[in-house]
Structure 1
Amino acid sequence: MSPQPSLTVHDLTDDRFLADFRSMSAHGATPAGGVHREAGTQADTANRHWFHGLLEGYGATVVYDEIGNQFGLWELNPGQPYVLVGSHLDSQPFGGRFDGAYGVLCGAHACARLSLQVHAGDVAPPRHNVAVVNWFNEEGSRFKPSMMGSSVFTGKSSAEEMLAVEDGEGVTVRETLEAMELPNRGKLPLSQFRSYAEIHIEQGKDMDEQGYTIGVVEKTWGARKYVLKVHGFQSHTGSTLLEDRQDALYGAALIITRIRQIGEKYTSPQSPLVTSCGQLNVIPNSPVVVAQGAELLVDLRCGLESILQEADQEFREALREIEDLAHVEIELQGSHAWQEQAYTPEGITLAESIARQLDLPVVRTQTRAGHDSTNVKDVLPTVMLFVPSYKGISHNELEFTEDEDMVAGLRMFAETLRTMATSPLESGVEKGDSVA
């Protein structure tokens, strides 16, 4: 069993949780109240070391896997597998302080509360141990793809492949993790974990507008993400006639316009389709030069697979038309996709029951954003929960969730963890043998 912490059950109050959240939010803090904490940066490293100390202070053993996922382990029933909870601590550039971080800290407090209750003799040791995880590079803003840590953990990507990924400055994930000086890095067998739960801000406005405190996620939207490079020919903007130009930026502009048009064409109130270009780099990006290259990341997301496939096919055909129109070549440099999928039905039923027991207004919902649970649910029975976020603002410094909603979510999550650790959550998911 994990060593007896110096804290008592009465020390881990809701006020202490909120104070810990404020301390966490200081790492990478921005003037407008958000955080700038991309994966593996100084701010992320400082936050991870802070979180390491917090976990040990709350009675956990802290270890890291090959891809830099950070685990806090509470052994309450020696020899038994762990119920895993968590999210991510990295952020988008000038992002919000709640996205991901709320779920990680919620998981840490839920685990620590249960551990203290067991050590105090208030509750019997549960059937399973408990653990919290801070996944590496969920956001994908510095290293692509997103959800990298959970992808390696679930065996969807190889550790060696992801360790070789470079950021925009040519620094690899491997070099980044070495510079972060994370101790106890090794392999953790998937068989060591029994189930998974994650709580997150909604990143949508429905719950905020409709007055719900807890959202139980029943399905994830499907998504198609593409990294494209448009190849043109560099020339002078003043002397090169329009018909002679091979303007990569013009080609990129046509892609951006077309993907928006496709989104508008296929969306409906019953089945919205969202399309975006979230990143654009122009080469050489000079005011009097026709661009020789443009790199952009586009994505399509929808809750109905048939609509997503039809829109995706039209987009691919549009790329060939744009090549002819702009006299450029379009190279697919990378892609990342997942299909719409349901979460564990038994987990949905369990979460709804707990919310009603706690008298918390609850609604079934879907997630349009990708979360690490999107990967984990394919290998472990999984529960995904939401709390409201003000006006649905996210990936923005103005992202906000009320203290009372954060605390209500913590109550909900702590009871969900206790139940999952006591009565195993069953599903038809088949686990693999090991992960990095």
Structure 2
Amino acid sequence: MTIRVPRDDVADAALLADFTTLSAIGATPAGGVERQAATDADGQTRAWLGSWLTERGFAVRQDQVGNLFGLLELAPGRPYVLAGSHLDSQPRGGRFDGAYGVLAAAHAADRLRRHHRRTGRTPRYNVAVVDWFNEEGSRFKPSMMGSAVFTGAMPLDTALATTDVAGVTVATALRAIDGQGTGHVLDAGRDVAAYAEIHIEQGRELDKAGNTLGLVDSTWAANKYEMSVIGSQAHTGATAMADRQDALYGAALVVVALRELADRYGTDLHTSCGQLTVHPNSPVVVAREVHLHLDLRSPSDDLLAEADEVLRTRLAEIEVQADVSIQRRFSHTWKGQHYHPEGVALAAAVADDLGIGHQRVRTRAGHDSTNLKDVVPTVMLFVPSVEGISHAEAEYTTDEDLCTGVDVLTEVLARLADGALDATA
């Protein structure tokens, strides 16, 4: 297929200028951003995006869980091809994670709008840009919340009632930033023809290989748990060591057990404790309770299940060793899955037509496309992360790779809008 939306140097300059503007909202001194979901900074970012889209003729709408859509009607009465990612960040996170994907989608859609205005040609489908609410899951758990509600993987009421550590609900937080709409904007099963997302890789494979584009063909499996270690509050000086039921000691053993589990299985298992809350968290009190958030990921469903059982056995041993009780529950889990092969082939064809080096990659991280691929044909793309750094202020992707990614996404959107993946629906 002939490339119909050629590279535009002026548009590249505009992309980089807009990215600089976007990165200034919630900026941290070391070059990152802090824009956790439904905070003031997140609200400011969403407002900026809404204004940007409105100025270019998009109809901006928000749904009940805070997903923000920019609707571009190119083929009246027809479904939409969606493209986007998320604007929220981790605490002291990187400025590229998520935000690049939203801005890339906005610029790609606008380039497509200008192209069709110049040519007078009407595509098969309309185009929409989306900022998915609370992809990161740092303030409100679980992650990928907005896209989960959109695709029916999570009930709306469950999402809205979710609280942060201060007890603020999603519904309350969204209202505080004027981020909650009414009703549905789009129906995932009826109004969406396909979805495309571009994201920084957050790993080293592209950087090491010297390729510009990653074609995501599958996901790692993941088990994420919330866990409580229950002990008994006591005096740190007066209570004999043998009499202590130290919840923090038990939690520390759990953290060590997680790392030992990863060492046991090598590169095919990633484990972490990303959040730990201690009660009462006093310097002179033996902890009575500790809440942990654990994460196990693997490319193999079978290995993940085996590692989970090994961890279960070790937790029982820790209960005896530390004289505590451990309450474990799943918070969020998904099996390893494949993206639509037709979508991968489409992205490869675009990269070949544009002369861009590419390779297939498997995503270890969760993305909103993980939810979308279960309901609509989906294309997921990566651009390189220098040294694989992510969820940190040192996160970096070169300007050239950012611009090339938009070139690819624009052409992918153009072909999706012409129905390139209709046979997979």
C-alpha deviation, 1:186, in angstroms: 2.0
What do the CA deviations read for 1:75-119 (whole angstroms, capped 9, x no partner)?
000010000000000000000000000000000011111111112
Counterpart-to-counterpart distance in 2, 1:428 and 1:52: 32
Where does residue 14 of structure 2 map in the other structure?
A: 16
CA contact (8 A) 2:343 2:379 kept: yes
Question: Which residue in 2 is equivalent to 1:99?
Answer: 97
For residue 10 of structure 1, report the CA deviation from its aligned partner: 7.3
* Distance in 2 of aligned mates of 1:330 and 1:345: 42
Note closer, same or farther for the CA distance 1:427–1:367 as it changes in structure 2 (3 Å cut): farther
Which of 60, 63, 82 is the matching residue for 2:61?
63
Specify the alignment match of 1:390 in structure 2.
386
Matched to 1:150, the amino acid is S
Spell out the pairing of 1:178-327 with structure 2 (5 A cutoff).
Answer: 178-182=175-179, 184-187=181-184, 188-190=186-188, 191-268=190-267, 272-327=268-323
The answer to whether the aligner puts 1:373 opposite 2:372 as a matched pair is no
DSSP 3-state at the match of 2:318: helix
Tell me the residue number matched to 1:152: 149
CA contact (8 A) 1:277 1:297 kept: yes
Determine the structure 2 residue equivalent to 1:126: 123
Q: Is the 8 A contact 1:202 1:386 kept in 2?
A: yes
**Unpaired runs of at least 5, structure 2:** 1-6
1:400 to 2:401 alignment: no
SS of equivalent to 1:335: strand
Mark the CA change 1:182 to 1:82 in structure 2 (over 3 Å): closer, same or farther: same
Q: May I ask how many residue pairs the two structures share in their alignment?
A: 417
Distance 1:275 1:413, change over 3 A: same
1:332 aligns with 2:331: no
In the alignment, structure 1 residue 351 sits paired with structure 2 residue 347: yes
Supply the distance in 1 between the matched residues of 2:223 and 2:215 (Cα, whole angstroms): 24
> Deviation at 1:332?
2.4
Deviation (angstroms), 1:362: 0.4
**C-alpha separation between the residues in 2 aligned to 1:140 and 1:24?**
21
Cα distance change on mapping 1:12 and 1:173 into 2, 3 Å: farther
Distance 2:208 2:236 in 1: 49
Higher deviation after alignment, 13-22 or 123-132? 123-132
State how far apart, in whole Å, the 2-side matches of 1:172 and 1:182 are. 13
Matched position secondary structure for 1:47: helix
Deviation at 1:424, TM superposition (A): 3.5
TM-score, L = length of structure 2: 0.96
Moved more, 240-249 or 35-44: 240-249
Q: 2:110 aligns with which of 86, 109, 112?
A: 112
Aligned to 2:172: 175
Query: Does the 8 Å CA contact 1:29/1:36 hold for their aligned counterparts?
Result: yes
Counterparts in 2 of 1:15 and 1:336: CA distance versus 1, 3 Å: same
Q: CA deviation at 1:177?
A: 1.1
| 2:87 matched residue in structure 1 | 89
2-structure distance, mates of 1:405, 1:82 = 27
Match of 2:162 in 1: 165
Task: Find the aligned partners of 2:398 and 2:120 in 1 and give their Cα distance.
Answer: 31
**Against the structure 1 CA distance between its residues 11 and 48, is the aligned structure 2 distance closer, same or farther, given a 3 Å change threshold?**
farther
Q: 1:161 is matched by which residue type in structure 2?
A: T
Aligned residues with identical type, % of pairs: 53
Match of 1:400, SS? coil
Opposite residue 367 of structure 1, the aligned amino acid is T
Q: Which amino acid aligns with 2:214?
A: G
> Over aligned residue pairs, what C-alpha RMSD do you find?
1.4
CA, structure 1 residues 81+424, in 2 after alignment: closer, same or farther (shift >3 Å)? farther
Letter in 2 for 1:164: A
